[in-house]
Amino acid sequence: MTGTYPNTRLRRTRATGWSRALHRETLITPADLIWPLFVTEGAGVEDPIASLPGVSRWSVDGIVARAKEAVDLGIPVVALFPNTQPDRRSDDGAEAHNPDNLMCRAIRAIKDTCGDDIGVLTDVALDPYTSHGQDGLLDDTGYVTNDDTVAVLVDQAINQAEAGADIIAPSDMMDGRIHAIRMALEMGSHHNVQIMSYAAKYASAFYGPFRDAVGSGGLLKGDKKSYQMDPANSDEALREVEFDIAEGADSVMVKPGLAYLDIARRVKDTFGVPVFAYQVSGEYAMIEAAAAAGAGERDALVLETLLAFKRAGCSGVLTYHAPVAARLLNG
């Protein structure tokens, strides 16, 4: 219903701060944020990541300190990614299901210290553990196999759940993995362990700094287009989401974020399930680079982009800006 000028003046409600506050449709709070963290070996280590200015890899003790910081800031979840030592990477990525791997040690350390004051989300995919940097197992032709990979992903997911992970987040894009992981969690009495599926994950040019951070970038030959989605596709994202929900996902993710807000909105409108977006490493780096170049004011860019995810229907956002944004939002 649209009025006619001058009876209706849309600028009336915009004229003052109190009125803009009253009419604001969307809010972003620290409770909407998931903070991705990179874990590295050692003790007392902070290892800055050159392509992600302001983001570091932390040894397990530092990860625990970051988790406590998240609790203090009101951030409900941290997402963990390991930088596996080179001698622990292999063709089959077996380190992924080693109960004493870096991820499991980090999960246990956070849970021992923070308990249920924070949720721990863990990534399921083999790329931080393989010598070839692909998310799954390769056949003789170099193709990433599906069903054999799913079997290993199940072991990886159960390994993380046993260590105390609260949310399993498969980012591998194999077919059928949500069902297989859900069944294994149920059989292992992990009924309340959630699955946040990277349901619509695109073969994107925005992942470069992440691959530096986990150390898989230099190893990766070729691309991930035989399993991650074509950026041209939107209907296909709905099919991916539909499958993952039917297979037992509690929430779904769209990734990358800003260039795919239309997908987030379609998923929300079509299924009404909790939708999350991942503002990925290349997006973080773009904002930092733009601010450093004087092309925009960093804090404003951060808050405006995060608000956009809420407006698009997302329940929350994975973002490396989580602590920066939470501080701004907490005043």
What positions carry a catalytic annotation? 201, 255
CA 39 and chain centroid, separation: 15
| Structure tokens, 155 | 């072991």
Count residues near ligand PBG (CB under 6 A).
Answer: 12
Distances from the Cα of 143 to the Cαs of 149, 221, 222, 272, in angstroms? Answer: 11, 12, 11, 35
Stretch that binds ligand PBG, among 2-10, 122-130, 150-158, 242-250 (CB under 6 A): 122-130
Binding mask 40-79 for ligand PBG (x = CB under 6 A): ----------------------------------------
Residues 164-183 that bind ligand PBG (CB under 6 A): 171-172
Q: Which of 174, 198, 177, 176 is nearest to 263 (CA)?
A: 198
Kindly give the residue spans of alpha helices, DSSP state H, lying in the chain: 17-23, 60-73, 102-114, 147-163, 177-187, 208-214, 235-247, 261-271, 281-292, 298-311, 322-329
**Considering only residues 95, 123, 166, 240, which one is a binding residue for ligand PBG as defined by CB under 6 A?**
123
Per CB under 6 A, does 127 bind ligand PBG? yes
Q: How far apart are CA 330 and CA 83, in angstroms?
A: 31
Which of residues 113 and 231 has its CB atom nearest to ligand PBG in the complex?
Answer: 231
Per CB under 6 A, does 281 bind ligand PBG? yes
- Tokens 């260590």 correspond to what residue? 163
CA 329 and chain centroid, separation: 21
Q: Report the interhelical angle of 261-271 vs 235-247 (nearest 10°).
A: 50
- Whose CB is nearest to ligand PBG? 210
Q: How far apart are CA 166 and CA 158, in angstroms?
A: 11
End-to-end Cα separation, the chain, in angstroms: 37
**Considering only residues 118, 125, 153, 317, which one is a binding residue for ligand PBG as defined by CB under 6 A?**
125
Closest CB 3 distance from ligand PBG, rounded Å: 45
Q: Report the interhelical angle of 177-187 vs 147-163 (nearest 10°).
A: 40
**Considering only residues 38, 129, 210, 309, which one is a binding residue for ligand PBG as defined by CB under 6 A?**
210
Closest CB 22 distance from ligand PBG, rounded Å: 36
SS3 288: helix
Per CB under 6 A, does 95 bind ligand PBG? no
Q: How many CB atoms lie within 10 A of CB 184?
A: 18
Which of residues 124 and 245 has its CB atom nearest to ligand PBG in the complex?
Answer: 124
**Considering only residues 38, 58, 129, 207, which one is a binding residue for ligand PBG as defined by CB under 6 A?**
207
SS3 279: strand
Stretch that binds ligand PBG, among 5-13, 123-131, 234-242, 298-306 (CB under 6 A): 123-131
DSSP state of 209: H
Q: How far apart are CA 146 and CA 207, in angstroms?
A: 22
**Considering only residues 32, 95, 135, 240, which one is a binding residue for ligand PBG as defined by CB under 6 A?**
135
Stretch that binds ligand PBG, among 106-114, 139-147, 203-211, 287-295 (CB under 6 A): 203-211
Binding mask 213-232 for ligand PBG (x = CB under 6 A): -----------x--------
Per CB under 6 A, does 212 bind ligand PBG? no
Which of residues 32 and 127 has its CB atom nearest to ligand PBG in the complex?
Answer: 127
Please report, as a single letter, which amino acid is at residue 51: S
Stretch that binds ligand PBG, among 22-30, 66-74, 204-212, 240-248 (CB under 6 A): 204-212
Q: Which residues bind ligand PBG (CB under 6 A)?
A: 123, 125, 127, 135, 171-172, 207, 210-211, 224, 280-281
